[in-house]
Amino acid sequence: MLMTFLVVAIVSAALIAGALWGIYGKLTTQTQGFVIALAGGALIVSLVTELIEPSLEQSNMWVGLGAVAAGAGVFTVIDYWIDEKWGADGGGGLLAAITLDGIPENLALGVALIGAKPIEVAALAGSILLSNLPEAAGGAKQMAGEGHSRAKILGLWAATAAILSGAAIVGNIALEGVSPHFLAATRCFAAGAVVASLATEVFPQAYKEDHHMAGVATAIGVVLAVFLGELGGG
């Protein structure tokens, strides 16, 4: 359990590190786009190998694939509502969107850690960490440009990190010992939500900011995730 808390804390702390990067460091749009695309490529692999495939083995195809579709549908509806309420371009809207993206990611991480060693979910944890850094950096940079104080920005991102850590811990503790079918459905629901976020938020942003190298960065992410997955399985 201690290692689970440590993995979750490191992954969520990337949000605070990213916010500091966005406020105090230099962040080009090309760099942000490259890292986002890299993280997206890694997430594609880790979702399939560490969430969906084990769930299909644990339960059955209809439960798993139905939950993937349901997760994507629910994410899309909530994402649309956030865009309508806060707007997609402002710092506040981006903060809300990242929180929405992060809840299924961190829930998936917490569930994936049930009965597993941290190295066995290294690809998923690394992918989420990589995605947190540039997203938080970009959001913090936008919020600073809108006139928010540095203390307020850091406080908001720290609160977001705490919320997402809570999602992972709740997923890990509350779902331990549930039926294999329910656990499989939860994993696949979270995976479906993350897939939808990749399609609607992550890859469009990566292409917009670094369209010349977005494809290469995505491929590098896939390679890294496969390597970490093989390392964890070895």
| Confidence grade of residue 1 (pLDDT, cut at 50, 70, 90) | low
Token output for 40: 């997206």
Give yes or no for residue 118 having a pLDDT over 80.
no
List the domain boundaries for the chain.
2-233
| Confidence grade of residue 223 (pLDDT, cut at 50, 70, 90) | very high
Q: Give residue 20's Cα distance to chain centre.
A: 19
Give yes or no for residue 168 having a pLDDT over 70.
yes
Give yes or no for residue 92 having a pLDDT over 60.
no
The Cα 214–Cα 197 span in angstroms is 17
Q: What is the pLDDT of residue 29?
A: 85
Q: What is the pLDDT of residue 46?
A: 87
CA distances from 57 to 61, 161, 189, 228 (A): 8, 32, 16, 21
Q: Are 210 and 33 in contact (CB under 8 A)?
A: yes
